[in-house]
Amino acid sequence: MSTSPRGPIDASKTPRFAGPATFARLPRLDQVDKADVKVIGVPFDTGVSYRPGARFGANHVRESSRLLRPYNPAQDVSPFENMQVADAGDVAVNPFNIGEAIETLQGAATDLTSDGAKLITIGGDHTIALPLLRAACERHGPVALLHFDAHLDTWDTYFGAEYTHGTPFRRAFEEGIIDTDALSHVGTRGPLYGRRDLDDDRRFGFGIVTSSDVYYQGVREVVAKLRDRIGSRPLYISIDVDVMDPAHAPGTGTPEAGGITSRELLEIVRGFDGLDIIGADIVEVAPAYDHAEITGIAAAHIGYDLVSLLARQHDRDNAPDAGKR
């Protein structure tokens, strides 16, 4: 039996539009012995405050990922060649009970990473970041966080509810599961409830790179500042697709004008090569508003570049001279 990783379905033999959709047409987790990276979906949007529909996001991104190919020229890596990547399906969480859904996802994430695998999670709304961070902290201790979003998501409550898509990072701060010396929002913009929102955010330890900063400073300067802030700490990346302008991501629940482009987001993500990435999520894809699959395609490519970063990390860690560094 071959020990080589099992990659995507060969598009020269099976048309891309044929067969069931897994992320990048990769094998299911039950089709491989072990996976280094597991892609999971979380069909959950009970925590949204405006437009619903992100519960359908994971399968939409899977369908949008059919055109991804085995070699990533931007990172000069074939991400499925030397490590096993598999689609682990969806975590079935309770759509009527947010607390139970959070507990279920935390348990599933802990189980899925117990063998050392890393998770790329496709949401779902941003509520899911909290249990994913809890699971990451169980394994790594408090983690560095880069949070890509139009919004801060550090508000206290909505209608008295502590667990929503606008509160996960405040709860994470209160629970001590994120490293307060290495936190940053990226791409924030738009109106806030008041100046106190920013004051609270600074108190939690977050730095802010606004979408205007990306425009005026450029990708390279932004990446350099973020890398300096993170250093060698274990890093979790959380990406709300509304960080992109609605022109590049119309299919989301709380769009804001003036966002970054999909090209800028991809280039920033690619700039994290060499950092100790331990997991990531891509959330708030709402296909009902996504004409021509614009958001789904962007999210699929973001996921592909995140997997590619993990593949480069895997190749470095398993190079013959890795122990001599």
Residues 6+ apart with CB under 8 A from 106: 131, 132, 134, 135
Instruction: Kindly report the backbone phi and psi dihedral angles of residue 75, in degrees, each rounded to the nearest multiple of 5, phi listed first.
Output: -110, 0
Confirm whether residue 240 is marked as ligand binding: yes
3-class DSSP state of 161:
strand
Three-point CA angle 86, 262, 109, nearest 5°: 30
- CA–CA dist 197, 178 (Å, integer): 19
Question: Is 140 known as a binding-site position?
Answer: no
Do 90 and 20 meet the contact criterion of CB atoms below 8 Å apart? no
φ, ψ of residue 151 in degrees (nearest 5): -120, 160
Q: Which two tokens stand for residue 172?
A: 């994470």
151 is in an annotated binding site: yes
281 is in an annotated binding site: no
Q: Check: CB of residue 251 under 8 Å from CB of residue 295.
A: yes
126 is known to lie in a ligand binding site: yes
- By CB atoms closer than 10 A (0-12, 13-18, 19+), residue 57 is buried
Distances in Å between the Cα of 299 and the Cα atoms of 3, 101, 229, 249, 262 are 30, 23, 25, 9, 9
CB atoms < 10 A from the CB of 7, how many? 17
Give residues with Cβ within 8 angstroms of 125, minimum separation 6. 44, 45, 46, 47, 48, 54, 165, 253, 283, 284
Summarize the annotated binding site as residue ranges.
Answer: 126, 149, 151, 153, 240, 242
Summarize the annotated binding site for Mn(2+) as residue ranges.
Answer: 126, 149, 151, 153, 240, 242
